[in-house]
Structure 1
Amino acid sequence: MPTSRPVALVTGSATGVGRACVLQFARRGYDVVVNYSRSEAEALDTAGEAKALGAKVLVEGCDVSDDARVRKMVLNVGEAFGRLDVLVNNAATTSFIEHRDLEGLTESMWDRMLAVNLKGAFFVTRAAADLLRAGGSGSVVNVSSVAGITGSGSSIAYCATKAGLNTMTKSLARVLAPEVRVNAVCPGPIDSRWIKEGNPKWDLDAMVAGYPIPKASQPDDIADAVLFFATGTAMTTGQILSVDGGQTLL
């Protein structure tokens, strides 16, 4: 018997934007699935906070680039809750390589970014499609990047995978309609561990100084947009929304 509460699965939700999404869903009465690849301790911390907000929580360790494990994760979601209302494809990876350093961007880097950022989002959406359709009003939100629009970001491969995710968002919006809506959020720079650990030399304040809104986003700023697509609109699908302080106006 499906639970009476809506359910959201957020990939890569141990920290950062994914964690912020989990907690926002929990505050809105959702049960949640916390997915992680390596950060088990932080995933359990996030799960604990969601439980304190009244949510039933399932914690799933799964690398989204592994299709077999993805299918098992979604099977576990169905067994635990009997439903899935929202999927947030947030899991991502990158390598910080200067764009002019063409030789520095190795094939293994390409393969890993394509596997997680693009194929992973497809694998999870495909595995979850039947559960999402069953409710008649499912929502998929892909966490992309303005790098997929501007071609400027941590590496050429990262930009390309996020551009691919934007296009795939539109393709999936067509094939999963009308039962499931599919949209994407494209963050600009985020004040999070991702960018600080990935390239400590980057000066976030300097990076955003010329933006119309001259500050980096916080994870909750991005989660706000994710929650809008998931819960705040019924007639929006196939859309790509930049949440970037106006970066793409420049």
Structure 2
Amino acid sequence: MTNASRPVSLITGAATGVGRACAIGLARQGHDVVINYSRSEAEAKQTAEDASSLGAKTMLAKCDVSVDTDVRKMIAEIRSEFGRLDCLINNAATTEFVEHSDLETLTEPMWDRILGVNVKGPFFVTRAAAELLAEGDGGSVVNVSSVAGITGSGSSIAYCASKGGLNTMTKSFARSLAPKIRVNAVCPGPIDSRWIREGNPNWDLEAMVADYPLPKPSQPEDIADAVLFFATGTNLTTGQLLPVDGGQTIR
């Protein structure tokens, strides 16, 4: 049975990686968690099981965040199940690994999918969740972006552009949803996760970070620490972009 006094968090793309680490971290802090996923059902169920073992009530929500009608249905189900929403972590993302000089390979369908998930998705979810977030004592939105949106260097030009858009949208939302809802973004550098290891096995993570001030790739938990700070660890921070990148952006 739902405990109305427990905060509730929705994490998109929560089956694996950073999203999973955020769900587990929030469960450890006493939140009930909604675990959104689009394809990785087995991994999402495992995340839910692990969060439940920490005392959290969990809800699985299969939804492609780039589809507005499905997003609105997901938020309606959260309202029905929990009656509240305190934190939204926009973590779901996608990319294509295409060399920046290889312009012809980056097709229009690739652009559409990357922008659909990485830009329209966070907009759709935040828009749909805003009313429920604002009904509480003060909601928080954290967008998991990327230093690619700052440096213009990443898996593809489309991915960099999408994260640049997410960064500016973070600031726009911080203004438009204030004062009830805070909106911030975490911008990871290279993460040692399935995202890179399987997405482009030819990338050498250790070589990539060798000349960083902190020469090691982050783990999903490193990024989750920063996300949870914005989500629950501060009351007067909004519209901020926090690189968590081993110093990549100050080289």
* TM-score > 0.5, shorter chain as reference: yes
Q: Return the alpha-carbon distance in structure 2 between the equivalents of residues 235 and 44 of structure 1.
A: 35
Aligned AA (2:111): W
Which residue number corresponds to residue 77 of structure 2?
76
Which residue number corresponds to residue 124 of structure 1?
125
Query: What fraction of aligned residue pairs are identical, expressed as a percent?
Result: 72
Conservation of the 8 A alpha-carbon contact between 1:169 and 1:182: yes
- Unpaired runs of 5+ in structure 1? none
Which residue number corresponds to residue 14 of structure 2?
13
Instruction: String of CA shifts for 1:20-39, please: whole Å, max 9, x gaps.
Output: 00000000000000000000
Give 3-state SS (helix, strand or coil) of 1:198's partner. coil
Q: Return the alpha-carbon distance in structure 1 between the equivalents of residues 241 and 136 of structure 2.
A: 24
Aligned AA (1:229): F
Instruction: String of CA shifts for 1:46-80, please: whole Å, max 9, x gaps.
Output: 00000000000000000000100000000011111
Which residue number corresponds to residue 139 of structure 1?
140
Q: Return the alpha-carbon distance in structure 1 between the equivalents of residues 34 and 122 of structure 2.
A: 16
Which residue number corresponds to residue 112 of structure 2?
111
Q: Return the alpha-carbon distance in structure 2 between the equivalents of residues 40 and 105 of structure 1.
A: 29
Q: Return the alpha-carbon distance in structure 2 between the equivalents of residues 41 and 233 of structure 1.
A: 34
Instruction: String of CA shifts for 1:117-161, please: whole Å, max 9, x gaps.
Output: 000000000000000000131000000000000000000000000
Which residue number corresponds to residue 38 of structure 2?
37
How do 1:168-187 residues align onto structure 2 when only pairs under 5 Å count? 168-187=169-188
Query: TM-score normalised to the size of structure 1?
Result: 0.99
Which residue number corresponds to residue 157 of structure 1?
158
Q: Return the alpha-carbon distance in structure 2 between the equivalents of residues 80 and 130 of structure 1.
A: 16
Q: Return the alpha-carbon distance in structure 2 between the equivalents of residues 33 and 117 of structure 1.
A: 19
Aligned AA (1:26): A
Instruction: String of CA shifts for 1:184-213, please: whole Å, max 9, x gaps.
Output: 000000000000111000000000000000
Q: Where has structure 1 moved over 2 Å in runs of 4 or more?
A: none
How many residue pairs were aligned?
Answer: 250
Q: Return the alpha-carbon distance in structure 2 between the equivalents of residues 69 and 108 of structure 1.
A: 21
Which residue number corresponds to residue 235 of structure 1?
236
Give 3-state SS (helix, strand or coil) of 1:58's partner. strand
Query: TM-score normalised to the size of structure 2?
Result: 0.99
